[in-house]
Homo-oligomer: A and B are copies of this chain.
Amino acid sequence: MMRDVAIIGVSQTKFGELWDSSFRDLVAEAGIKAIVDSNIAGEDIEAMYVGNMSSGLFVQQEHIAALISDHTGLNPIPCTRVEAACASGGLALRQGIMAVASGFHDIVISAGVEKMTDVVDATPAIATASDQEWEAQQGAIFPSLYAMIAKRHMYEYGTTREQLAQFSVVNHKNAKYNPNAQFSFETTVDKVINSTMVADPLTLLDCSPVSDGAAAVVLCPAEDAKKYTDTPIYVKASAQASGTMTLHDRKDITTIEATKVASRKAYDMAGVTVKDIDASEVHDCFSINGLLAVEDLGFVEKGKGGIALEEGQTERDGDFPINPSGGLKARGHPLGATGIAQAAEIVWQLRGDCGKRQIDGAEIGMTHNVGGTGGTCAVHIFGRDRN
């Protein structure tokens, strides 16, 4: 980076089935909260990025960055939508970082939003994140694609149904203490396994929900950050990679190559190893993808993710705490908002603002945001210290 970047404010709306909030309302709420949190005035913002997967199919509205700019009084600043399916938020964050790093802008807001409950069935829209011609049109929608991955992981590595379910159990345990989470109930391995079958072996409680919501972060040059806040959080790495859109093009469907590539780039850029990461938010659209993240980010060797979950290593007091927010499963997964909400959670964790879901002494945190079954992956690393 030509210039270091810091986060001076973050926000997240409540995630859930928000029947009383429109697309516009959600992003305005997130934006205003982030502005308040960063001690800036709205007119200080020089550019906005917004991550959103499919406002076209969900609310029949494209050109949403301009709409948001107009609706929130940001005109005439540059406002840009970024799309990469469920990784849209992570990429909007990355573009905001580049806008500051490049010297084009000083204060930039990166937001994410998705309004998914205005359609009768969200599945056809979500399926456009896979390859229509090779997957979606053949009926291979995401639960079935991830179910195939899970089956293969069980076959190759002896991963058990109980270990998979454990990912959801830990998420729900954390979400209980997150006031913005969609679900505040705890669950058990038995309850997960015995919930409604979706695509064998994945049941309802292995799957992230359909959600409405928005989130935002405010970025500025690292050297200016202390003007706005006593606790800036520094961007130590922003990395992104692409992988095959379809599962049949992969040598091994139990590994998401884009996660491996993006995370290794991020560790290099930040000058850290995976052992230095105190808190992570990973992309558990399905429990199996959370488990793959544990392996592909390098927390454990390939095949050992199930055992790590069983041993509680991803819990808040474990060796590598994951998804203190509740993750996609329990915080909710408004597609374009997720990557930004992950960053907001890590900022809160590094500031020490998380109350009962706080990971004690977290200094370095990571977000991992995946599009589709790994066509896109964005990994960001943040730190309390600038260097």
Contacts and interface: CB of A to CB of B under 8 A. Distances in A.
Given A62-B129, A95-B95, A372-B66, A241 B77 contact: yes
A70 interface: yes
Given A54-B56, A75-B242, A244-B75, A67 B128 contact: no
Nearest to A104: B98
Contacts of A78: 94, 239-242
A255 interface: no
B62 A54 contact: yes
Q: Which of A1, A67, A74 has the most CB of B within 10 A?
A: A67
A67 B136 CA distance: 13
Q: Is the interface of A mostly helix, strand, loop or mixed?
A: mixed
A56 B59 contact: no
Nearest to A260: B76
B103 A66 contact: no
Interface in A225-270: 238-246, 249, 257-258, 261
Contacts of A2: 2-3, 101-103
A59 B137 CA distance: 12
For chain A, the bracket of interface size reads 35 or more
Interface in A356-385: 371-372, 375-376
A81 interface: yes
A104 B103 contact: no
A82 B82 contact: yes
B75 A243 contact: yes
Contacts of A372: 63, 66
A67 B376 CA distance: 9
Contact of A80 (B57, B84, B124): B84
A60 B241 CA distance: 23
Nearest to A375: B66
A346 interface: no
A258 B75 CA distance: 9
Interface in A125-158: 125, 128-132, 136
6 contacts: A2-B2, A60-B132, A65-B242, A78-B240, A81-B82, A101-B103
Interface of A: 1-3, 53-54, 56-57, 59-67, 69-70, 74-85, 91, 94-95, 98-99, 101-104, 124-125, 128-132, 136, 238-246, 249, 257-258, 261, 371-372, 375-376
3 A-B pairs with the lowest CB-CB distances in the bound complex, closest first? A66-B375, A102-B102, A78-B240
